[in-house]
Structure 1
Amino acid sequence: MTAVVLSVTAVGLVFAVLALVLKAGSVLEIVVSGLMLACLAAVGLILLAGDGVTGWREGWWNVLLLLAGGLAVTGGGPLTTSVLSLVDRGNTRAQSTQKAGEVLRGGALIGALERGAIYASMVAGFPEGLAIVLAIKGLARYPELRSPDQPASVTPQAVAERFIIGTFTSVLWSVACAGLVLSR
């Protein structure tokens, strides 16, 4: 079971890296992100069906720790842009959460740091870290969310929607990745 869990997690990480190089919001990125999500779900089901990582040698557990951490940080970006692309279907340009990304610049880097911090705090047994990360992010983004100086091509609702959907997707992804390691 250990080899299967590590292999499927590694395949998920490969899909995450592949999704990073694809055009954001493209159909191919959405499909690859879906495959990455399927890998995470498969690993979760395998661990639930067995005894989790209980009884694993420390070395193999450490490999899973690193693979899941890499998956948490790299996979959350493409997954978030895929979710935002799916949300945008049928929206006008002014309502587009993709266009709102121009207001919330630095989102990819902030998201990666956020996912890394959340993953690390969850794996370290400090779930309160999630609240700290979200509080810092919310306070740091507040001026941009409430600024009246946004471009006319973007509605304030689209900016807030992008922030909320992006944050929730990113947080849920990193917590799910941490859950693999915490199944012991």
Structure 2
Amino acid sequence: MLDAFARRLIDPPLDAIGRSLAGIGATPNVVTLTGLGLGVIAAVVIAMGAPLLALLPLLASRLADGLDGAVARATRKSDFGGYLDIACDFFFYGAIPLAFVVLDPIANGVAGAFLIASFYFNAASFLGYAILAEKHGMETSAQGSKSLYFSNGLLEGTETIAFFVLLCLVPQHFAPLAWAFGALCYATAALRLWGARAVFSD
């Protein structure tokens, strides 16, 4: 819901940094994989019992996630780069809740499973919509220049990052927060399905 607004604020500085990184030889795929590596480090730190400390690699990971597109715009965008980016994003989105489950499986296990399942459903609705949008020649730049069609929803990347930050700040409240956020993810996917029925019905 907030991605379009956030992109208008962050794209100009990201593009400036991206041009600088491209100037010293950075490639989009290397930046993407660096972001994934930082995200995995954040997950490991959470699982080891230091969620607050994990904020630094977590936020650095999301900065890299924004910078890979900026580097691509400064050099050359590729279909594989977009594919790698979305695959790494979903890896990250699953790794953080899993880390909280590993941190306290008794308190967080069921809520964490519910949250990850909601991410799975939401991802399927998002990617399925993108496939059909490509088939119908649809385009959008509301969430910035993307390799895939990004359909909007109640919860998008901006809200998910804010949610992960909140979990790191108050890890003792993971379970109720996971139940609430997971329910909103299910609602997001259901609304996307409803919208797709109107757009893609023959």
Q: TM-score under structure 2 normalisation?
A: 0.41
Q: Which has the higher contact order (CA 8 A, sep 6+)?
A: 1
